[in-house]
């Protein structure tokens, strides 16, 4: 049985989708939900689902990313995860941290990568007049939002869409795609999933 730790920064809807998918014959179980924000709404949701939680406030470390990560790593290493899932985790990780989990760390990004790495993905798709948008699950490498793609889900961009309405349509697919990819990944299957 694979052990999965999940990093969040906010409400944690993707984290909840992952946690609730890891039951029955799923090859993995959640062992920790950690956040860079002690006020992250997702921490209470994880605790309510009986998952161990931890919070390390990145603001206490100013610009010292390595010091922040060293503190976060104490909690992660204590949980001994096989797989690390970034789920709405908004801190850019240092190459040193990434190297430690390379080949076993996933992220979900709300665009059809390689289009629109970074922020404001939905508004950028609307401004570009794209007919489609979506989300991507990829392995994390030292280049932001760039690693091998493990899954993508597409949605139409509809006339009159605002970034919020498009984000809502994409989030529905995120909650389907990330659990589907994690189930395969935990079973050792890295064949990409597309819909």
Interface with ligand GRF by CB under 6 A: which residues? Answer: 8, 10-15, 87-88, 108-110, 171, 174
As measured in angstroms, the least distance from the Cβ of 89 to ligand GRF is 7
CB 130 within 8 A of CB 166: no
As measured in angstroms, the least distance from the Cβ of 35 to ligand GRF is 10
**Phi and psi of 91, rounded to 5°?**
-95, 135
Return the number of the residue (76 or 108) whose C-beta is nearest ligand GRF: 108
Q: DSSP assignment of 72-136, as one string?
A: HHHHHHHH--SEEEESS--SPPPHHHHHHHTTSEEEEESS-TTSS-SS-HHHHHHHTT-SEEEEE
User: Three-class SS of residue 19?
Assistant: helix
Question: DSSP letter at 60?
Answer: G
Return the number of the residue (49 or 70) whose C-beta is nearest ligand GRF: 49
As measured in angstroms, the least distance from the Cβ of 10 to ligand GRF is 4
Return the number of the residue (70 or 124) whose C-beta is nearest ligand GRF: 124
CB 8 within 8 A of CB 89: yes
Residues with a catalytic annotation lie at 109
Return the number of the residue (57 or 80) whose C-beta is nearest ligand GRF: 57
The alpha carbon of 170 is separated from its chain's Cα centroid by a whole number of angstroms, namely 14
CB 117 within 8 A of CB 37: no
As measured in angstroms, the least distance from the Cβ of 107 to ligand GRF is 8
């Amino acid at each position: 049985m694979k052990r999965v730790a999940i990093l969040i920064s906010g409400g944690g809807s993707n984290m909840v989708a992952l946690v609730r998918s890891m039951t029955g014959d799923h090859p993995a179980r959640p062992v920790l939900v950690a956040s860079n924000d002690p006020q992250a709404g997702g921490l209470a949701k994880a605790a309510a689902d009986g998952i161990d939680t931890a919070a390390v406030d990145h603001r206490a470390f100013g610009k010292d990313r390595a010091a922040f990560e060293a503190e976060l790593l104490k909690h992660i290493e204590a949980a001994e995860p096989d797989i690390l899932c970034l789920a709405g985790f908004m801190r850019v990780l240092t190459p040193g941290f990434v190297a430690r989990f390379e080949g076993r760390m996933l992220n979900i990004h709300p665009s059809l990568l390689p289009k629109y790495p970074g922020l404001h993905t939905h508004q950028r798709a609307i401004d570009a007049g794209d007919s489609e948008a979506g989300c991507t699950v990829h392995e994390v490498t030292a280049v932001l939002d760039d690693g091998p793609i493990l899954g993508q889900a597409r949605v139409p961009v509809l006339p009159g869409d605002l970034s919020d309405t498009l984000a809502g349509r994409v989030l529905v697919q995120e909650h389907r795609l990330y659990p589907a990819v994690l189930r395969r990944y935990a079973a050792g299957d890295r064949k990409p999933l597309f819909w």
